[in-house]
Structure 1
Amino acid sequence: MDAPTPSYLRRWPGLAEAVAASRPRRDHAALLASLANVPDLDGARVATWRGDRWLQRRKVYRPDGTLVADDRDVWLAAEVASDGGNAHTTWLRLKDAGYRITKCEITDLYLVAGDHAGDPAGFIQGEVALEHEILERELFEPRPWREPLVLRDLLRDDGPMLPAEQIVAVRPDAYRLRRFIDVKAWLDVADALEQVRREAFRERHYRVTNSEEPGRESIQTADEVFPGWDAFPAKHRRYFSDWQRSSAGTARLCNHWILDLTDWTDAKGERTLTLIPQWAFNRPLAKVDASKGSDYEFYGRLQKLDRRVGVTFGWFFYALHGNRVKGDAIERVIRAAEAGTIVLPEHDYRVLKDWEASPYGF
């Protein structure tokens, strides 16, 4: 039985087909045009992209360019089965036939749409894969250090790369719609799950002993053992709250950050949603070292980062995730503000003090 569609996913009839029919261009004009007349997606734009993935599935071609199979793994399993399960026989039969396999490189495009309306989470995030599929290498290594004996060996040991002039596209580049997520609705689901977890934790009881009074013990609640454990919201909610109440709140969050959102259920049926923010800034960004320079010089470097990314107090959110600003920068800014060596708006100072009381990051 198929799992129900999560409530935060947005779907529109015919959109996947319209996206797939769009002709890829550097400016993605056709893709954006396919969204222009879709309710809630007008004004969508590409916020950023990531190009470090590829499909595990590989196609198989003959030397003359004829497609043999859409899935190398499935095809090889069938070939081994036809040889009575003897993978070595299959390898001997196919290794000199000149078969070639593809690699489908994927650039993930992140699109955002929505008017924000004062809520940093008030937007829809779309994920579209741009596929570039090429003939990449030979099916088998012709002279392996150990000849394959089982199917796993055939699947693990890819052949050598083809010469550069033979690495060609096997089809035009194409878009593939992955999903559109209503971020506010996603947060509502995450909040509900967090509430269930917190209620379960609150109901726990602990047997507490006293090392100074051996043999004496008491039963205490989670609130008694861990006072203040629920003083702050979960970090997925704090991230948006801190953006809204700080100087960063004058900027539109989805113009500067996209979200890596996951939703999975383990073998025991426990569902977990996770959020990891990813910056959308696509140009070089210098690291800020909190151990160097005077307070004034150090804070000046943070402000320079803010100007470069276009967000006041943006450095704080880079300290929450990534390697441009480390967490010790937050602590130094707090110390400098309290010493009077830098001037910090009160609302930003409050965000930093709350972080100091209960640090979080991604």
Structure 2
Amino acid sequence: MNASPLRLPDAGSIEAVLADLDPASADNDLVPALAHAFPGFQFSVARIDDDYWRDTRSVIRPDGTRIGELRPWMTAELAKDGGAIDALWRRLKETDLQITEWRGTSAFVFAPTGPGAADYVQIALGREIEWRAGPIVNPNYRPFGQEELLDPSWPRTDRPPQSDRLAGPVYRLLGRAGGAVIHVRSFLDRCGRIEREKREAKRPEMEGRVIREVGPWGTRETPFLEVVPDWFDYVPRELRFFRDWEDSSARPHRVFEHWALDVRDYTHKGEREVGFVPRPLQPLAERLAPPKDASIHILMDRIEDVDREIGLPFGWFFLMIHGHWVDPDVGLAIAQGLKAQRVRLPDPDARVLLRWADRTYRF
């Protein structure tokens, strides 16, 4: 008798788990609570320092007593003064009222569903803490307009002391466009399908398109699809990322041990946009660019240092296609060295790099 398939985590059930977490122990309880709600999965969590601020603020007294949310409360107070911003500011700066702010960082939860590079679930969360931000208005400067009262930007931006911590941490699903909870392999299938549908919809246009050249011979027109015969076979970079992982020395490692995926899936002006940008869980201490007048062999030493630093064979390649940490000229230089037989890489990595150099992609 076959075992029943595991129930994949869904947004509603995850939100119920998060709502039951006690902020005092949320960090420790998150993974066990998810494992209890979804038996059979082995969850892990990774946090990223990418501070963000929620637009939700509260009005409190110095002892922490809550009066209400800032925007509706301030709107009502402004109405009491007939919309006179100056009068409201003068009145409020003499009070001891304060405002709070919610600061958050991203947290990603992962759970494998199979042996393949893309066989896992990713859950994008925000880990948020409420802090005392400062007095209700800036006592030294009159606000320029109503929005500065409703959404003040002047409170301090440095990290507040623990004594100003009011609530949290609390976890919540981030409002990422269609990507808070994904099964990665299914998401990749979606990426490929959407791209094929987009291109197929343009078939009549592309079959009629020509490239016009003007020269001493006159005007010559060449059908676009003769110049780019594989236009309909385009593979999105998201699929190439995972294919390159599985074809390289990185394959024994799980993608989610090193990368989180910043996913998007939305419709803009009637067109579906779907994809992701990979985010390294362990960025490099310094960006790697090809040093001037350095030999290819020194560059090979540098990429080995990168792989050791992040604990991933061929890791430098994936940091390179991320688009920030390793300059693409590094990959192109090494590809040239491979073609000239001046340097060597493991055969799988050499094939992946040369394939990339032939048709580059970056995020």
TM bucket, shorter chain: 0.7 to 0.9
1:211 to 200, 211, 214: 214
Cα pair distance change 1:167/1:305, threshold 3 Å: same
Cα pair distance change 1:77/1:27, threshold 3 Å: closer
CA distance in 2, matches of 1:344, 1:162: 46
> 1:264 maps to which residue?
266
CA distance in 1, matches of 2:40, 2:79: 49
Pairwise mapping of residues 1-362 of structure 1 onto structure 2 (< 5 A)? 10-11=9-10, 14-23=13-22, 28-39=27-38, 42-70=41-69, 72-117=70-115, 119-144=116-141, 147-148=142-143, 150-155=145-150, 157-158=152-153, 161=156, 168-178=164-174, 179-204=180-205, 205-206=208-209, 208-212=211-215, 221-230=223-232, 232-266=234-268, 268-281=269-282, 285-291=285-291, 293-362=294-363
Q: What secondary structure sits across from 1:77 in the alignment? A: helix
Cα pair distance change 1:297/1:52, threshold 3 Å: same
CA distance in 2, matches of 1:39, 1:353: 42
CA distance in 2, matches of 1:154, 1:276: 35
Cα pair distance change 1:339/1:17, threshold 3 Å: same
1:248-270 Cα distance to aligned partner (Å, 9 max, x none): 1122111111100012222x222
Deviation at 1:221, TM superposition (A): 4.7
Q: What secondary structure sits across from 2:165 in the alignment? A: coil
Q: What secondary structure sits across from 2:243 in the alignment? A: helix
Unaligned runs of 5+ in 1: 1-8
Name which of structure 1's ranges 158-167 and 120-129 shifts more when overlaid on structure 2. 158-167
**What residue identity is the alignment partner of 1:174?**
V
Deviation at 1:190, TM superposition (A): 1.6
CA distance in 2, matches of 1:27, 1:149: 40
Q: For the aligned residues, what is the CA RMSD?
A: 3.0
Deviation at 1:278, TM superposition (A): 0.8
Percent identity among equivalent residues?
Answer: 30
TM-score by length of 2: 0.84
- 8 Å contact from structure 1 (residues 107, 131) kept in 2: yes
Q: What secondary structure sits across from 1:173 in the alignment? A: strand
Deviation at 1:14, TM superposition (A): 4.5
> 1:3 maps to which residue?
none
Cα pair distance change 1:208/1:311, threshold 3 Å: closer
Cα pair distance change 1:130/1:41, threshold 3 Å: farther
**What residue identity is the alignment partner of 2:166?**
V
**What residue identity is the alignment partner of 2:291?**
S
- 8 Å contact from structure 1 (residues 201, 222) kept in 2: no
Q: What secondary structure sits across from 1:281 in the alignment? A: coil
Name which of structure 1's ranges 308-317 and 167-176 shifts more when overlaid on structure 2. 167-176
Cα pair distance change 1:221/1:68, threshold 3 Å: farther
Q: What secondary structure sits across from 2:316 in the alignment? A: helix
Cα pair distance change 1:139/1:41, threshold 3 Å: farther
**What residue identity is the alignment partner of 2:122?**
Q
Unaligned runs of 5+ in 2: 1-7, 175-179
Cα pair distance change 1:287/1:171, threshold 3 Å: closer
Q: What secondary structure sits across from 2:339 in the alignment? A: helix
Deviation at 1:129, TM superposition (A): 1.9
CA distance in 2, matches of 1:308, 1:58: 40
1:202-246 Cα distance to aligned partner (Å, 9 max, x none): 33123554423798575x654135344345411111111111111
Q: What secondary structure sits across from 1:143 in the alignment? A: coil
**What residue identity is the alignment partner of 2:134?**
R
- 8 Å contact from structure 1 (residues 264, 271) kept in 2: yes
Q: What secondary structure sits across from 2:36 in the alignment? A: coil
Q: What secondary structure sits across from 1:136 in the alignment? A: strand
Cα pair distance change 1:40/1:76, threshold 3 Å: same
CA distance in 1, matches of 2:143, 2:59: 19
1:104-136 Cα distance to aligned partner (Å, 9 max, x none): 11121111101442x211100112222111111
